[in-house]
Amino acid sequence: GFVTNVEAAYPVSSDPMRVKQTYMDMIRVDQAWAAAADSRTPIIVAVVDTGVDLGHPDLVGNLVEGVNLLQPTKKPWDDNGHGTNVAGLIAATINNDKGIAGIAPNAKIMPIKALEADGTGGEAKLGEGIKYAVDHGAKIVVLSLGLNKYSSYLAGIVQYAEDHNVLLV
């Protein structure tokens, strides 16, 4: 039979903006959280994007060291907003009475700034960002972007990630 008294890995979120996150209901996140096994083991998720707001109150506890590939002497601060948005969807702190709930509260975000302030970028920096993530412990690399042509260079980078058991999303 079914065991029904098992404590859920994550409680149902009480974050103030959670009610507006209708996509969370569409993917049945509360059921997924209830079925999740070990919620304490962190997993590093690299966000290769425009950077991340490193001081964001809903993310600050869920960040690991990243890199700014456009200005290597600077931190990967977001000068667009897109990377921060993506990072929040993944790993915003749950039940902290701030903002939204992230889908994977045990995720630690590795911010990798590979895109310009206007959201554009080149395949060289993109590939460099993926390789950095793989080489620095990310298990998942999120690429909320598109490429308008085939690239044998990026195909090789994708193979590199797969050879290291890193999931590209």
Residue pLDDT tens, the chain, 169 long: 444 444 556 667 788 888 888 888 898 888 888 887 766 789 999 999 999 999 999 999 999 999 999 999 999 999 999 999 999 999 998 888 888 889 997 899 999 999 999 999 999 999 999 999 999 999 999 999 998 899 999 999 999 999 999 999 9
The reported pLDDT for the residue numbered 31 is 87
Distances (CA, A) of 34 to 10, 46, 77, 94, 112: 6, 25, 34, 14, 31
DSSP for 62-106 reads GB---EESSSTTS--B-SSSHHHHHHHHHHPPSSSSSS---S-TT
Residues 6+ apart with CB under 8 A from 111: 46, 47, 49, 51, 52, 54, 63, 66, 76, 78, 83, 87
